[in-house]
């Protein structure tokens, strides 16, 4: 791990949604998170800012249809990446 790597946190809702997700989504999220930590702007992640009810949040692709919604936060000296929701595009945005 790099010394400047951010702390990763998960909301209660994210943890509940991830626990209920199919095994292949859980595995895909682990791989997505590893890629994010290596290169947050890797093209495969489609990392982008959200608007509307998710203004101030960002989204990355977990699979073709599943997304993880997160926000970068500062907690004192710490850079924290907090994941708030995970679900299908339809579940999250419609």
pLDDT tens column, 38-74 = 999 999 999 999 999 999 999 999 999 999 999 998 8
78/30 Cα distance (integer angstroms):
22
In angstroms, the first-to-last Cα distance of the chain is: 37
Q: In CATH terms, is domain 7-93 a member of 2.60.40.10?
A: no
Average pLDDT, the chain: 93
**Residue 88 binned pLDDT confidence (cut-offs 50, 70, 90):** very high
56/1 Cα distance (integer angstroms):
27
Q: Residues 60, 45: contact at Cβ < 8 Å?
A: yes
Task: Return the domain boundaries, the chain.
Answer: 7-93
CA distances from 41 to 58, 77, 90 (A): 12, 23, 23
């Amino acid at each position: 791990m790099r010394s400047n790597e951010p702390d990763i946190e998960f909301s209660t809702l994210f943890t509940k949604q991830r626990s209920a997700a199919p095994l292949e989504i859980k595995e895909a999220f682990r791989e997505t998170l590893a890629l994010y930590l290596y290169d947050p702007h890797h093209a495969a992640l489609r990392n982008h800012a959200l608007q509307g009810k998710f203004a101030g949040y960002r989204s990355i692709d977990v699979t073709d249809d599943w997304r993880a919604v997160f926000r970068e936060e500062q907690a004192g000296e710490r850079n924290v990446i907090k994941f708030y929701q995970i679900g299908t595009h339809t579940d999250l945005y419609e």
